[in-house]
Amino acid sequence: MSELPRRIAGLVLLLVAVALPLVLEDFWLQLGLFVMATMIGAVGLTLLVGVAGQLSLGHAAFAAIGAYVYVWATSESEPTLAGAGLPAVVGLVLAVAVAALVGFVFSPVASRLRGIYLGLATLGLVFLVRHLLLNLDPWTGGFNGRSVEPFTLGGFSFSNRDPDYLAVAGVELEGLHRLWYLFLVLTLLACWLAANLRSSRTGRAWANLRDSETAAAAMGIGVARYKAAAFVVSSGYAGLAGALLALAYGRLAPDVFTLTVSVDFLVMIVIGGLGSVGGAMVGALFVTALPLVLTQYSDALPFMAAPGSGGLDPATTSRLLYGLAIIAVLVFLRGGLAGASRRLTGRRAASGAPDDTPRPTTPIAPGHEAGDRTSESKETAR
Amino acid sequence: MSYFLTQVLNGLSFGLVLSLIAAGFAIVFTSTGVLNFAHGSVVLLGAYLVAVTHPTIGFWAAVLVGVVGAAVVGVLVNALLVRNLADPNPGTAAILMLGVDILLLTELTRRIGNRVLPLGAPWGADVVRFGGIALPAGRVLAAGVAVVVFAGLWFLFARTRLGIGMRAAAADGPTASLMGIRLSRTGATGWALAGVLAALAGVFLTSFPSPGVAPPVALSAFLAIPAWVLGGFDSVPGAVLGGLVIGLVTALTVGYESELHVLGGGFGEVVPYLVMIVVLLVRPQGLLGSKEAVRV
Amino acid sequence: MRKTRPALVAAAACVFAVTACSTTEPEAAGGGGSGDVETGNGVTDSAITVGVLTDLSGPFAAGAAVQVTEFQAYWDQVNADGGICDRDVEMQVQDHAYDPQKAVSLYRSMSSDIVALQQVLGGPTSAAVLPLAQQESVYVGGVGWASTALQYENNQLPGASYSIQGANAIDYLVDELGLSEGDSVGVVYFVGDYGSDALAGAEHAAAERGLTIVPQEITPAVTDLSAQASALVQEGVQAVVLGAAPAQLASLVGVLSSQGADVPVIGMNPTFNPALLDTPAAEALLANTYSITSVAPYASDAPGVQEANALYTEADPDGALGWEVPLAYGQAQLLRTALEDACEAGDLTPEGVVAALGNASDVDTDGVFPDGLDYTQVGESPTRTVFVSKVSDTAEAGLELLDTYEGPSAQSYTFG
């Protein structure tokens, strides 16, 4: 019954995403690139945190690895900077593979630790990777970073050149437009994969792990193996997100992947609603776009002091509004943005779609089994 | 030898200040299960209150204002926001605190501007000397205060009804609640205590050898996180030990950087996190944390 | 939802394929503009728009706000005097909050409305914006003094680079402050395009002058430099060069003094803030602390600086005083020079402004920057001369100008 409206909504959304570049200005195109890149990262993180119940504050570290591997793979070698000169597609695959591999190497730590312990151990990764990026100059360019070659596919370049001029329906498709479509395809692919993975055997095993490792082990789920798998998949997603961020920037430096980025990924999936792929996407849109749009249009707000006058200037206001928005979502919206929209469309009542596996309760509680149980029972009571 | 000793004392005295912050993380976490991402801003808030009030009411009264202010903010955040979360779980609570952190930090940064607010501490740039080693008087005082505070905390948790109630609530909330312990009260006490500790740490972090109150002080919380994790999430003595270890290791890494240069420049920045990861691998519950019940 | 996605993708591909595609460019519309001046983005018949991408809500908000105020005051005055090329100059200010992602997006939003960027404040932010601006040939000013920015022909570096500052610091220690061959000098620095660049210059000069460098890397979160200072004392350094921020300067100087190490400390451009003189470290700072800057300090009596200060005090009587005031004024002067040259050459497009910058071989700024700035050599610092000041409680804004200085190692430093 609810399938048809949903298909129509999906189709409309997709058509809008395809048509948007024809009308948008550069600001919005650039914003869209950042949003789509972070969407992929957030979806990967929600598989790990929301579905498999393992907290990670190290997502930016894996994104950094993906980004630098991509740039290394696709750049020509120079006297001071190593490069492999591989085709861009190979670079993208390598970025995902190496990030996933590092996730695999880190997974013994992950399988020993749980919840908040794991989260804070991964926090250390961000600082460790930053240290390496700064010190491995021959590969990373140190603090200067290195420039990113445009993405090319069989002679077609996703930049302002090759072909120099390309227009659709009278609108010239420049580098940003071309990248938009590349990002759109990759984002749809990544999200489609994630949604499938979530309802697959692996996804259900992850959810069991999240709810109780002991019970999962009793049911014959290989705890260590599935935990490692969650880490590998999520790191691979982070790697892809990192490579796309590199393309969106056009230049890479260690400052692009700070702890703030890791934390922002976490904000996205919590605000969106843990464990929901759509929620992660909406969360990414919220966290990436809101501060920028607020900044861009905050001059329109009344009663603003001039910058530097010590009063409440637009920039400070936009930052405060962003903080308030986070708090408001968490205090007022059960299940985050995804939960709210589900209630709004009344889709929860027409359950049955595999999306509606019970939402995770709490991934972040080692010593707080008690707290878990209370919120869990609330959940089932609903 | 005296150089080694100087660095050890530098490290231990700074480590004790970190312990104050780390203990705040531990107390909030045990009493309400919240990873307090806003703790750094509360440290800054405490120090800021002291800096702006001391010219009119004197330093010691200003410290009182800072301590009470930080505690009140903690209690209010818990009562108004954390307890009203739509999905009360540690994940949403942590992100909620991130939102609070953005609010506090943005407003404090706006008020402080690019000034470095002097704290007005009466010990100024005084130095205590013994046996050829010079230590800032503020740090010696910090060590004394930390010892007194931690002794007080031990007494609270071990001997008073309230403290025992807090421990019970941390161990098993619903059961403690059934036995007549008011979780709202133990939670509020935890947040207030953490605020007090944060403000005290703020005072020592912004007086000599630091120049005064400036927004980067809020980053100090990130240095205390490894200390907290290292000691064990639910253990105040662990936080003390963790702070000392991190302070010591960092000071020695910095002090002997010329010998450690193979590890790359600025190794002192990452060494706390390395130590943390290694300890977690060997002892997942931290140095003094209680062991998790579930092992698979 | 899942099952529908592949179908949707296919449908989208079809839609995309049947839409009219074209790869032949229509006749380019003739360059706009009236009279004999060619114009492009950001220039209308009555106005010239310049962009400012700065940090009004992040870590550098306060100093950035001072500069925005001064820019505005400067352009208001220019407009009152008849503007440039018979047009008023307007500023479009956006706040990137020291976040490269925001900086790039905001650059995209303003790039079609501006003829030049007056300022992109901050290391990571300007590193992200500079390559984009280079592709589109947009003049970028005010990115600080990192040598890494010199490789861009569209970049205007306001004075000597950090590496030149660092090299001059060592030369000055030897020539004027009594250090000699065999001595060692500590360099405490932030890793990055600022501190590491200053270190590179200092290392070059130390090799030239026979000194040894003891490097100590720190982060902005470190405001207690006890361990670093003890280590430097242990190494027996005779002086310290600092490539960090004001909080680190006060802590370092205070601890050194408390340990009885009476050595000169020289801070690079952004390390001094007059507010430090209210902290417990004031006495130690007044004893033996110097500042090497690319821009004249607030207390300079050069006509340009006096003019800058007067404008600022009028615009914001309660504003914070500091080197940001002459810096902002000087940068606005440089951009004005480029705009006027572009106008004279009949090409007031973004490309024309960049070209005008690249042809400027001898720019004077009434003493705000060293005279004779040369922007014709991409990759070279526009000058090798710096200002040396000493911390003082009598000079306005806490820095008393001692001298302009250009040491032999600063002259022999090579970029690349």
Query: Helix, strand or coil for residue C339?
Result: helix
- C219 and C201 in a single domain? The answer is yes
- Evaluate whether residue C97 is within a structural domain: yes
Hey, what are C33's tokens? 């503009």
- Evaluate whether residue A337 is within a structural domain: no
Is-contact C112 C346, C-beta < 8 A? Answer: no
Which chains touch C (3+ CB pairs under 8 A)?
Answer: A, B
Lowest mean pLDDT among A246-260, A270-284, C1-15, C334-348: C1-15
- Evaluate whether residue C375 is within a structural domain: yes
If we measure between CA atoms, which residue out of C288, C214, C260, C249 comes closest to residue B6?
Answer: C260
Residue C30 has pLDDT above 60, yes or no: no
Hey, what are A282's tokens? 């909406």
Is-contact B69 B6, C-beta < 8 A? Answer: no
If we measure between CA atoms, which residue out of C145, C122, C128, C149 comes closest to residue C59?
Answer: C122
Q: In whole angstroms, what is the distance from residue A105 CA to residue A125 CA?
A: 12
Residue C173 has pLDDT above 90, yes or no: yes
Are the Cβ atoms of B10 and C230 closer than 8 angstroms? yes
- For residue A232, the enclosing domain spans 22-257+355-374
Q: In whole angstroms, what is the distance from residue B37 CA to residue B101 CA?
A: 7
Q: In whole angstroms, what is the distance from residue A138 CA to residue A142 CA?
A: 8
- Evaluate whether residue A39 is within a structural domain: yes
Lowest mean pLDDT among B32-36, B128-132, B135-139: B128-132
* Cross-strand bridge partners of residue C187: C215, C241
Torsion angles phi and psi, residue B288, rounded to 5: -120, 15
Are the Cβ atoms of A256 and C124 closer than 8 angstroms? yes
pLDDT value for A117: 76
Domains identified in chain B and CATH numbers: 2-295 (1.10.3470)
Query: Which DSSP letter does residue C320 get?
Result: P
The residue of chain A with its CA nearest to that of C149 is A144
Residue % of chain B over a pLDDT of 70? 96
pLDDT value for C3: 44
Is-contact A115 A55, C-beta < 8 A? Answer: yes
Give the pLDDT mean for B162-172. Answer: 80
Longest dimension (CA), chain C: 80
- Evaluate whether residue A299 is within a structural domain: no
- Residues sharing a CB contact under 8 Å with residue A334, sequence separation 6 or more, in sequence order: A340, A343, B86, B87
Residue % of chain C over a pLDDT of 70? 92
- Evaluate whether residue A96 is within a structural domain: yes
- C120 and C213 in a single domain? The answer is no
Residue A346 has pLDDT above 90, yes or no: no
Report which of residues A8 and B284 the model is more confident about: A8
- C177 and C282 in a single domain? The answer is yes
- For residue C110, the enclosing domain spans 29-160+301-383
The pLDDT tens digits of the residues spanning C41-67 come to 889 989 999 999 998 877 777 788 889
- Evaluate whether residue C119 is within a structural domain: yes
* Identity of the residue numbered A213: E
Is-contact C315 C73, C-beta < 8 A? Answer: yes
pLDDT value for A378: 36
Residue A311 has pLDDT above 70, yes or no: no
Residue A358 has pLDDT above 60, yes or no: no
Report which of residues C25 and C413 the model is more confident about: C413
Q: Would you give the end-to-end CA distance of chain B in angstroms?
A: 48
Q: In whole angstroms, what is the distance from residue C145 CA to residue C162 CA?
A: 5
- Evaluate whether residue A324 is within a structural domain: no
pLDDT value for C351: 93
Residue C33 half-sphere exposure toward CB, CA atoms < 13 A: 20
Query: Which DSSP letter does residue A157 get?
Result: E
Contacts of A355 in chain C (CB under 8 A): 1
- C228 and C364 in a single domain? The answer is no
- C328 and C341 in a single domain? The answer is yes
- Evaluate whether residue C95 is within a structural domain: yes
- Evaluate whether residue A105 is within a structural domain: yes
The pLDDT tens digits of the residues spanning B41-96 come to 999 999 999 999 999 999 999 999 999 999 999 999 999 998 888 888 777 888 89
* Identity of the residue numbered A219: M
- Evaluate whether residue A288 is within a structural domain: no
- Enter the ipTM: 0.87
pLDDT band at A61, cuts 50/70/90? very high
Q: What is the pTM of this model?
A: 0.85
Preceding omega of A150 cis (within 30 degrees of 0): no
Is-contact B254 B268, C-beta < 8 A? Answer: yes
Torsion angles phi and psi, residue B181, rounded to 5: -90, 130
Query: Helix, strand or coil for residue C83?
Result: coil
Residue A352 has pLDDT above 50, yes or no: no
Q: In whole angstroms, what is the distance from residue B211 CA to residue B188 CA?
A: 33
- C52 and C76 in a single domain? The answer is yes
- C191 and C337 in a single domain? The answer is no
Q: In whole angstroms, what is the distance from residue A285 CA to residue C406 CA?
A: 52
Count of structural domains within chain A: 1
Sheet holding A167-168, edge to edge: A171-172, A167-168, C21-22
Angle at C360 between CA C355 and CA C363, to 5 degrees: 145
Residue % of chain B over a pLDDT of 90? 39
Residue C25 has pLDDT above 80, yes or no: no
What CATH number should be reported for the domain holding residue C369?
3.40.50.2300
Residues of C (53-82) whose Cβ lies below 8 Å from A:
56-57, 61-62, 64-66, 68-69
Count of structural domains within chain C: 2
- Evaluate whether residue A317 is within a structural domain: no
Are the Cβ atoms of C95 and A292 closer than 8 angstroms? no
pLDDT value for A235: 95
- Evaluate whether residue C340 is within a structural domain: yes
pLDDT band at C193, cuts 50/70/90? confident
Residue A359 has pLDDT above 70, yes or no: no
pLDDT value for B128: 86
In sequence order, which ranges of C272-393 are alpha helices (DSSP H)? 282-288, 303-315, 324-344, 350-358
Residues of C (94-123) whose Cβ lies below 8 Å from A:
94-97, 100-102, 104-106, 108-109, 111-112, 123
Q: What is the dihedral of CA C226, C229, C230, C231, to 10 degrees?
A: 120
